[in-house]
Structure 1
Amino acid sequence: MNAPVSPAAAAEASRLTQPAPPPRRRRRWLLRLLPVVLLLALGLGGSWYWTVGRFLAETDDAYVQGDISVLSARLEADVLAIPVGDNQPVRAGELLMRLDDRDARLQVRQAEASLDEAVAAEATARETLEQLRAQIGAARAQVAQAEAEQVRAAADAGRTRALVGGGWSSRQSNDQAVADQRKAEAGRQAAEAELAVRQRAVAVQQAQLDQAAARREQAAAALDLAHRNASYAEIRAPFDGIAGNRAAQLGQLVRPGQRLLAVAPPPEQLYVVANFKETQLAGMRPGQPVEITVDAIPGVVFHGRVDSFAPGTGSQFSLLPPENATGNFTKIVQRVPVKLVLEPGQDPAALALLRPGLSVVAEVDTRADPGAPRGVLAAAAGTLGLR
């Protein structure tokens, strides 16, 4: 005997046994429109590539760069103070590190004493020169006196000789007059020799004065050098930037040439070096616009321009440049570093996040009209002449 069946169960069984309804018309229309949509998308993509895409040179081999100044010690001393902390913004001329300058100040005092000694030696040489010049005047007067004495002695000898011939004077008087004449001549010659010695002594003393002046200049230069070395005890920021990478600690003994810390430029002075393939450089020129995206700052697009091109490919500046003149050869596409600078007036908050060394993606617009829109619809409208 069969069990009775409820009306609900009978309705469900009837629904399941009915055939499926035919597909709707809307699905048919969608299938018919699908090729049209695909053709339209293909046309828009082709139009964009032909008018925009093929003129965009893009590379991810690009990095943020900055002219980082590495500060080193110029003298051997202990570190006394480090007023700045790591990653702290600094201003140009701000004190970053102070070294012990006691040895340098002692060298300054020693150089000052040497300069005083050299100045005194120069003054002594100058006074000696003036004294010798005065002695030359006295020697010339002695020469004149000797010449006058010679003239008198010669006259007396002549008169005595005449008197002896006339019998009015003795031969002894004549001999005495002749001796006086010869003595006067010898005195004149001695006075002239003394004058020559004094004149030559002036030339020698003038050379000694020049030597003393040179020693004074040398001592003055040594003093300037000592002052300069003393100034190296204070390490100051060369420009506005951010201090970091400190390699010295308080109380540490540092030596000349030892790296102490570095100062990186502020974010607005950073730039990008992009290594483009040589096949991408055909239409690239300085001044063309660039869109830069930084991996560490997603969602932000920085605007820049092409500044300059490196004088050679990156391989030419490597430690071991390639030499392809021997052996087998495989052509490898080379890359040329291109410097990209940021345009002013960009988001300060985004710029503050830039750091040298960050990876970026750079896209250069090499079109004749780089100000034209880059969008797909705008490119299609330009192709159809609608704008």
Structure 2
Amino acid sequence: MTAKKNNHARTDRLITTITGWVAGIILIALAIWGISTLFELRKYEETNDAQVEEYINPITARVTGYISRINYEENQDVKKGDTLLIIDDSEYQLQQQEADAALLNAQAQVEVLQSNVTTTAKNADATQSQIAAAKAKLWKQQQEYDRYQKLYEAESATKQQLENVETALNVAKADYQTVINNYDAALSKINDIKSQKAVLAAEIERRQAMLGRNKLDVSYTIIRAPYDGKMGRRTIQEGQLIQAGQTLAFIVNQATGKWIIANFKETQVSHMHIGQTANIEIDAFPGKTFNGTIESLSPATGSRFSLLPPDNSSGNFVKIVQRIPVRIKLTSNVTETALLRAGMNATVAISKKNG
């Protein structure tokens, strides 16, 4: 009986000893972990307020119309220049034809006016020759009249003869003036036609601009990928009416790469600078570390870029630690960064040693 009690006592002491040792080891391990963690925290500035970013640009319609065909699917890879969708261009083709016809009409009017200018100029040249002939005839009649005037004064010619010569002189004067008037009228008509041509030239330029605009509208009915990328969610359907300026889709620009925006507390950024290395952990890939370097630091806190920045002058002031957005360029290889998607949450740690 006594032996059994002694065995139980030894067993209890052994269990107590082992338990004490295990507890001690656990406490020591926790202490080491705590000290190590504290040491690491002192070595790094860390934030889990970070996300993967990538250029996601909207594709907007430049004309209004009905969608006749869609050539892409959600999450599809596309190349620059690929046709994404086509808008019915029937109305825009008609407008282009109307503008083209109006331009041709204006050009035809210019050709008619040019023909009139040529004809009138020829008439003016002919009239100018008539002026010379009429002037010569007038001079001759004037000489004849002067001669008969002297003969009449010398009583060598009758008054009837003098009156006949005077009548012929007046007719020559009238003919000369008529030819002069015809020449002036021809010159005036030429000037009028030139003025009309100038007006039509301006009209042609306007028509050409309208035709160019109509051609642009026709080209805008074919919407192409602006660069290599991956299409986002599709929210439109064939036959749907869209408006100019409406966002039709989103495309992720794969040529510009990805980066991290980490929002550090204002008390953490005093030692940070461009080029400083960063360790990045992505929530979607636990245990995997990505590398990066600081590319830039925001010139203002994130709240200052909001639509309604805080106004502390209102009197309702509560001091809140502000966040400074820090842009981090990913330096890991392309194969690794290809796994990342815009919007993924990340944890970023930046060493204080190279600060």
The bucket for the TM-score relative to the shorter chain is: 0.7 to 0.9
Q: Is the 8 A contact 2:55 2:256 kept in 1?
A: no
- Per the alignment, residue 143 of structure 1 pairs with 131
- Per the alignment, residue 224 of structure 1 pairs with 212
Give the 3-state SS of the residue equivalent to 1:185 in structure 2. helix
Q: TM-score, normalised by structure 1?
A: 0.77
Query: Could you tell me how far 1:354 is from its partner in structure 2?
Result: 1.8
Give the 3-state SS of the residue equivalent to 2:104 in structure 1. helix
Query: Could you tell me how far 1:182 is from its partner in structure 2?
Result: 3.3
Question: Following superposition of structure 1 onto structure 2, how do residues 154-233 of structure 1 map, counting pairs within 5 Å?
Answer: 154-233=142-221
Distance of aligned partners of 1:131 and 1:244 in 2 relative to their CA distance in 1, 3 Å threshold: same
Letter in 1 for 2:305: F
Give me the CA root mean square deviation.
3.3
Distance of aligned partners of 1:202 and 1:333 in 2 relative to their CA distance in 1, 3 Å threshold: farther
Letter in 2 for 1:341: K
Q: Does 1:12 align with 2:4?
A: yes
Query: Could you tell me how far 1:86 is from its partner in structure 2?
Result: 1.0
Which whole-Å deviations, capped at 9, do the CAs of 1:307-329 have from their partners, x for residues lacking one? 23444332232222233334353
Question: Following superposition of structure 1 onto structure 2, how do residues 57-206 of structure 1 map, counting pairs within 5 Å?
Answer: 57-206=45-194
Q: Does 1:357 align with 2:348?
A: no
Distance of aligned partners of 1:356 and 1:21 in 2 relative to their CA distance in 1, 3 Å threshold: closer
- Per the alignment, residue 302 of structure 1 pairs with 290
Query: Could you tell me how far 1:347 is from its partner in structure 2?
Result: 5.1
Q: Percent identity?
A: 30
Query: Could you tell me how far 1:91 is from its partner in structure 2?
Result: 1.0
Letter in 1 for 2:271: G
- Per the alignment, residue 332 of structure 1 pairs with 320
List alignment gaps of at least 5 residues for structure 2. Answer: none
Give the 3-state SS of the residue equivalent to 1:299 in structure 2. coil
Q: TM-score, normalised by structure 2?
A: 0.84
Q: Size of the alignment, in residue pairs?
A: 348
Distance of aligned partners of 1:73 and 1:166 in 2 relative to their CA distance in 1, 3 Å threshold: same
Give the 3-state SS of the residue equivalent to 2:312 in structure 1. coil
- Name the CA distance, whole Å, in 1 between partners of 2:60 and 2:33: 64
Query: Could you tell me how far 1:165 is from its partner in structure 2?
Result: 0.8
- Name the CA distance, whole Å, in 1 between partners of 2:10 and 2:280: 63
Question: Following superposition of structure 1 onto structure 2, how do residues 209-358 of structure 1 map, counting pairs within 5 Å?
Answer: 209-266=197-254, 269-343=257-331, 346=333, 348=335, 350-358=336-344
Q: Is the 8 A contact 1:273 1:340 kept in 2?
A: yes
